[in-house]
């Protein structure tokens, strides 16, 4: 029997699934390529601290985050190993980089100068723009890249690019991805030609590892796949099989009867057509349950049966119809994402019903949820 917290709504993290996914991803990469998991956005809603700790136990010694604050929080919670900040850090926060031994991404040439002017040595990875045109120095600006490598106070430990069409295996996207990889290689070749030692290199994220394993370098920045999720349900059907790490559950706070014609919830958006039994769940959109699942668009599982969401999802509560599910009581558990008996609600279901991607659904799961490892 699993021990549940006494909480109202919670995430359960399946350690065995995480271990399985780490094994699958490692098996696709040569031994020389190390996982550098993306634990940004609270590890895609899973909980950055429990996920990073568990990964560390599995031998993972490098992580990436989006912001210096995320890196600092991991350190305060005792997470060791290398932590790379992938995104922008304001110069006013450069002290955090040193205090918490974080590595910062160099996002363009003027930013390299700012980092170098900080006055104390900083560990950095240079972001190289090979076609995404988001962060990074354009790959053809080789002179600037060499100048950064020689900046006095920058300890350049890595060079990386980000692939932006690797999720698709359409011929045009494949050609684009390979062109990105070639542009990245040209930077390395130029450095070699000039006798400048090349730092560690990385370019793959989850789709890169799964669709282009041959592009393995020194690190692979895997996020979504590590959590057992792919970008689409279609991708998830393909091998290798990854196991979802996260389940989302909520407590039944109370159960009540409605007479025909009575409404429920804000604006009485739901009207009982006959005698109905409804359950009030202790989870709402402030917990990350998309409000777009209101009024029958979404459903949860109670006692292994589907209970449609009725009326409008509230900030802290959600109403579901349990008329056809016998013996639902206060204190029962509703599965919002996960399995229950033979039934399942997946993050793909939620993403498709709300016209978004699994990444967005997961990363919005809120800080008010309890997180337990099972
Ligand atoms: C978020 C992120 C990743 C991880 O991407 P997944 O698709 O979740 O594996 C890798 N690299 C960068 C630069 C990112 O921003």
Q: Phi/psi at 325 (nearest 5 deg)?
A: -110, 115
Predicted pLDDT at 278? 98
Closest C-alpha to 166, from 128, 204, 214, 222: 204
- Does residue 206's CB lie within 6 angstroms of at least one atom of ligand 1? yes
- The predicted model gives 287-316 an average pLDDT of 98
Token pair of 82 as six digits: 């290398």
Mean pLDDT of 79-93: 98
Residue 3 has pLDDT above 80, yes or no: no
Q: How far is the CA of 38 from the centre of ligand 1 (A)?
A: 6
**b/e code 128-156 from CB counts within 10 Å (16+ = b):** bbbbeeebbbbbebbebbeebbebeebeb
- Rounded mean pLDDT, 337-343: 95
The yes-or-no verdict on residue 323 having pLDDT over 90 is yes
pLDDT surpasses 80 at 5:
no
Residue 1 pLDDT greater than 90, yes or no: no
- DSSP secondary structure of 191-259: HHHTTPPP-EEEEE-HHHHHH-GGG--SEE---GGGGT--SSHHHHHSSSP----EEEEEEEEEEEEE-
Query: Exposed, middle or buried by CB within 10 Å (0-12, 13-18, 19+), for 41?
Result: buried
Report which protein residue has its CA nearest ligand 1's atom 4. 223
Q: Please provide the average confidence, as pLDDT, over all residues in the chain.
A: 97
How far is residue 97's CA from residue 74's CA, in Å, rounded to a whole number?
12
> Is 284 close to ligand 1, i.e. is its CB under 6 Å away?
no
Question: Is residue 2 pLDDT above 70, yes or no?
Answer: no
Q: What is the pLDDT of residues 37-75, one digit of tens each?
A: 999 999 999 999 999 999 999 999 999 999 999 999 999
Report pLDDT for 321.
Answer: 98
220 lines ligand 1 (CB under 6 A): no
Active-site option among 40, 100, 212, 227: 40
Per-residue pLDDT reduced to its tens digit, 229-275: 999 999 999 988 999 999 999 999 999 999 999 999 999 999 999 99
Q: State residue 4's pLDDT score.
A: 65
**Nearest atom, ligand 1, residue 66 CA:** 15
What pLDDT score does 52 carry? 98
The pTM of the full predicted model, rounded to 2 decimals, is 0.96
CA-closest residue to ligand 1 atom 15: 86
> How far, in Å, CA of 66 to CA of 89, rounded?
9
| pLDDT tens readout for residues 191-239 | 999 999 999 999 999 999 999 999 999 999 999 999 999 999 999 999 8
Percentage of the residues of the chain whose pLDDT score is greater than 70: 99
200 classed as catalytic: no
Rounded to whole angstroms, what are the CA distances from 234 to 238, 346, 373?
Answer: 7, 13, 28
Return the sign of the alpha-carbon dihedral for residues 247, 253, 257, 259.
negative
Predicted confidence band at 24 (pLDDT cuts at 50, 70, 90)?
very high
* CA 20 to ligand 1 centroid distance, Å: 20
Query: Is 266 tagged catalytic?
Result: yes
| pLDDT for residue 161 | 98
Cβ–ligand 1 distance for 231 under 6 Å, the answer no
CB 224 within 8 A of CB 236: no
Instruction: Fill in the DSSP letter of residue 4.
Output: P
CA of 221 to the centre of ligand 1 (A): 6
Residue 274 token pair? 């006959």
Tell me how far the alpha carbon of residue 21 lies from the centroid of ligand 1, in angstroms.
16
Which pLDDT tens digit goes with each residue over 122-174?
A: 999 999 999 999 999 999 999 999 999 999 999 999 999 999 999 998 999 99
Peptide bond into 240 cis (omega under 30): yes
């Amino acid at each position: 029997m699993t021990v549940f917290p006494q909480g109202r709504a919670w995430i359960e993290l399946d350690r065995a699934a995480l271990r399985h996914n780490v094994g699958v991803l490692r098996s696709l990469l040569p031994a020389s390529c190390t996982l550098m998991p993306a634990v940004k956005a609270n590890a895609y809603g899973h909980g950055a601290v429990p996920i990073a700790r568990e990964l560390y136990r599995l031998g993972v010694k490098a992580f990436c985050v989006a912001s210096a604050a995320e890196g600092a929080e991991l350190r305060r919670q005792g997470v060791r190993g290398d932590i790379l900040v992938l995104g922008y850090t304001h110069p006013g926060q450069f002290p955090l980089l040193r205090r918490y031994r974080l590595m910062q991404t160099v996002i363009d040439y003027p930013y390299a100068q700012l980092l170098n002017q900080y006055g104390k040595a900083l560990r950095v990875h240079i972001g190289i723009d090979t076609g995404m045109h988001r962060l990074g120095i354009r790959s053809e600006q080789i002179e600037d890249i060499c100048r950064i490598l020689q900046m006095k106070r920058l300890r350049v430990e890595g060079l990386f690019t980000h692939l932006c069409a690797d999720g698709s295996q359409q011929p045009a996207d494949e050609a684009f991805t390979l062109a990105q990889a070639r542009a990245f290689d040209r930077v390395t070749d130029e450095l070699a030609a000039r006798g400048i030692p090349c730092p560690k290199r990385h370019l793959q994220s989850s789709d890169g590892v799964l669709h282009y394993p041959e592009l393995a370098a020194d690190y692979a920045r895997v996020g979504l796949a590590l959590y057992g999720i792919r970008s689409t349900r279609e991708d998830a059907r393909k091998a290798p099989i990854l196991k979802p790490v996260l389940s989302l559950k909520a407590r039944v706070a109370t159960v009540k009867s409605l007479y025909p014609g009575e409404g429920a919830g804000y604006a009485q958006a739901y009207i009982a057509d006959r005698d109905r039994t409804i359950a009030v769940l202790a989870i709402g959109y402030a917990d990350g349950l998309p409000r777009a699942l209101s009024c029958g668009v979404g459903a949860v599982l109670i006692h292994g049966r589907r209970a449609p969401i009725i009326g409008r999802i509230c900030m802290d509560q959600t109403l579901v119809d349990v008329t056809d599910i016998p013996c639902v009581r206060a204190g029962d558990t509703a599965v919002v994402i996960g399995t229950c008996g033979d039934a399942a609600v997946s993050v793909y279901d939620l993403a498709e019903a709300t016209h978004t991607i699994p990444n967005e659904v997961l990363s919005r799961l809120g800080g008010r949820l309890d997180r337990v490892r099972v």
